[in-house]
Amino acid sequence: MFLIILGYFTLLSVLAFVMMRIDKAQARKRGQRIPEKNLWTAAIFGGGIGAYLGMMMFRHKTKHTNFRVGFLLLAAIDVAILIWSYQAFNGE
């Protein structure tokens, strides 16, 4: 069961990371952007780690306090859920 949860979080984190990369590229060339609600949705439903890493790596949305704090908080929650599920499903 832990591997399913880990796979889910990994998939959503990769998606959120890629979304941050695409949105940054579109912002630079003034193209069609990814709506902020879509970035938040990916982060809230398990992609907090990827969203935070993408934000930091691509320096995207870092001036927005709600993104800096929110994505960091969601990443911490995702890590806590992964640790809890590992312990719960591996008998530790």
Mean pLDDT of 3-20: 97
Residue 91's pLDDT band, with cuts at 50, 70 and 90, is low
Predicted local distance difference test score (pLDDT) of residue 37: 97
Q: Which of 67, 49, 60 is nearest to 20 (CA)?
A: 60
Structure tokens at 36: 């902020």
Give the tens place of pLDDT for each residue, 17-72: 999 999 999 999 999 999 999 999 999 999 999 999 999 999 988 888 999 999 99
Predicted local distance difference test score (pLDDT) of residue 90: 85
Instruction: Please state, in angstroms and rounded to a whole number, the distance separating the CA atoms of residues 87 and 61.
Output: 34
Please tell me whether residue 61 adopts helix, strand or coil conformation: coil
Q: What is the pTM of this model?
A: 0.91
